[in-house]
Structure formats: C-alpha cells, structure tokens
Amino acid sequence: MSALFTPWSLRSLTLANRIVIAPMCQYSAKDGTASDWHLIHLGTLSQSGAGLLILEATSVEPEGRISPEDLGLWSDENEAALAEVIARVRAWSPMPIGVQIGHAGRKASTYAPWKGGGQVAEADGGWVPVAPSALPFRNADVAPIALDADGLARVKAGFVATTERAMRIGFDMVEIHSAHGYLLHQFLSPLSNARTDAYGGSLENRMRFPLEVFDAVRAAVPDDKPVFVRVSATDWVEGGWDVEECIVYAKALQARGLDVIHVSSGGLSPAQQIAVSAGYQVPFADRIRQETGLPTLAVGLITDPAHAEEILTSGKADAIALARGILYDPRWPWHAAAALGASVHAADQYLRCQPSGLRQLFK
C-alpha cells in the first residue's frame, strides 16, 4: 500500500490518507463572518479526496486579523455563519474538517495581497496592532502596542473562547498558529520580542506565552480530539529563531499533549533569506521528528506524488500538507492515487469521470 494513502489515526480521529489541506487565507469575510466564497472554496476542496481539510487562519479577536477581510470566530455572528458553511459542506463530504486559530500580532491590519498588501491606516478602516514589543514588522509601519498583563489575558481568553466556539461548530481538530511571523511566533523570536518581563529574554521566557495559550486551548478541546501547532522552524535571519530553539519548543508542547507539529518556516522578518526549492522545508520536519518523536506534518513545494511518497517512506514526516498546489489542482489527491496505485474517496456524482483503462481509482 502507498504510504501516502495509509490511514492515520490521531486520538479518535482517523484520516483516510496522509494528505492534508493546509490553511490558506481567503480575505473574503466581513467583520470576521464567513461568506458565500467560503462555501464555494471549502466545498470544492472537500471533494478533493484529501484526508483532512484545515480552514484558514481564523482570528480570535478583531485586532488579530491579518486583514480587515480575514475570517474570525470571536462573535455569535461569526459562529452562526461558519457553522452554516460547515454543515452545508459536510452534507456532501465525509472529509474531516479542522480549523486553524490565531492572532496576527504586529502583522495585523494589512491589505489583501491583490490590493497591494501593506498596512491599512486607521482612517481607512485599519487599526493599531498589538505585539509582544513595540517593534514594527516593517520600518514604515505604525509601531504596535506592546501587550500588557491585561492584554495578554484578553488574547489568551480569546483563544479559549474561539476554541469553544469551534467545538460547538463540531470541528474535528484545532491547529494553533504559531508560525509565519504572527503573534505567538513574535513571542518566540528574539527579533520581535524585546520584553524584559517573564515573557521575554531567555528561551524559556519567550516560550511562556505560547505555551500558556497551548495549555488553555488543549484544556478547551475534548480529550478525544487532536490539537496541532504550526511552527516556523527558522526565521531565516541570523540571530533569529532557529531549528534548535524550535526543537526545545516542540518538546515542551509534546509534554503538554500536542498531537501533531506542522512544520513551516519564515514570515517573521522582511530580512529573511530563503533558498526555495522542492521540499525545502522538509529537512526541518525531518529533524524535529527525529529529535522529538512527534508526528510531523511537512509542507512546502511538495507537488510531485512520488516526492510526497518518498518523504513518508523515508521517515521524514508522517503526512504531507498542500496549500497553493491544491488550489492550482483541486484533484491532486486523485492524480496522486492514480500515480501510486491507490484508491481515493469520490462523491457518487463524480464516479463516472474515471478515465477508461485506469485501474479502480475510486472507493
């Protein structure tokens, strides 16, 4: 049997295969509330044959949105709209669905990419971001407000409340966003955390708030459901967060009940220098897996089914995440199954589309 199409059990959740659709921002919500676009987008991906679909970064408070159009789950309105979308998707697909929850920190209040990116001024509907320290992402940005004790408590409570809403909706898992230069990553990296209190300075202190958030979220998720954490294994900047520190963080999360670590990289600093190539982030996932024993999700320019299979058979990761690649090819799992001699779930309405002469592809 193909390793990529081997079932994967995580607590009481069993995935049909090792293909995970990674969170991808859609910049299509209003005041955090899901729109018809989310129904179209998620409905399409739910018919892909992947083992798990994880929703885009979903903010725990309005100030935590990357853009004013980001998805959120802080209000009753947000919850009701997202619950309706998920119910309608699930009516037509058995695919497990999870949600990534996060806070953008100093990278909040930016324009959607097709609007040019960059910070949205308060006069234009933006806001002043919050962060571990008053250090802007770009020199031209408005400096964020450093979170005080009340602010830290508010943000942590937001993570808990959002998790509770996600559980009421019925998501199968939760992923905490601790990567890509967003708030929890900002606490971890010495490039963005200049605090002199118990949340800054040493690695132990810089990990403190992200670990507090993890503990609070894990406590709000039933024991039978898994919790993932997404990390950036390195800032790709000298003197920044690196894989050695990430391994220490991963071990601390593991001791607290982490089920899967989702390994990415970068995003914290415009000074990052990344040599991009196929599977360029896989060595980080491999090293973290080898040194912690944690189930590991690898992502990053993994587009060839044979490459994905090799990553798993060689023990570099436990599953493969696809992001932009599955937007480009929403039937990637079908094509991978055909290439690797495996089978994949397809809706009854699509069963007759299998090309003649191809072995039995659909379950």
Q: What are the residue numbers of the active site? A: 182
Nearest-angstrom CA–CA distance, 84 and 32: 14
Nearest CA to 210 among 240, 232, 173, 183?
183
Nearest-angstrom CA–CA distance, 233 and 245: 8
Nearest-angstrom CA–CA distance, 151 and 347: 46
For 161-219, the DSSP string reads: HHHHHHHHHT-SEEEEEE-TTSHHHHHH-TTT----STTSSSHHHHHHHHHHHHHHHHH
CA dist 117 → 110, 113, 114, 276 (Å): 6, 5, 7, 22
Phi then psi dihedrals of residue 308, to 5 deg: -60, -45
| 362: its two tokens | 């659909």
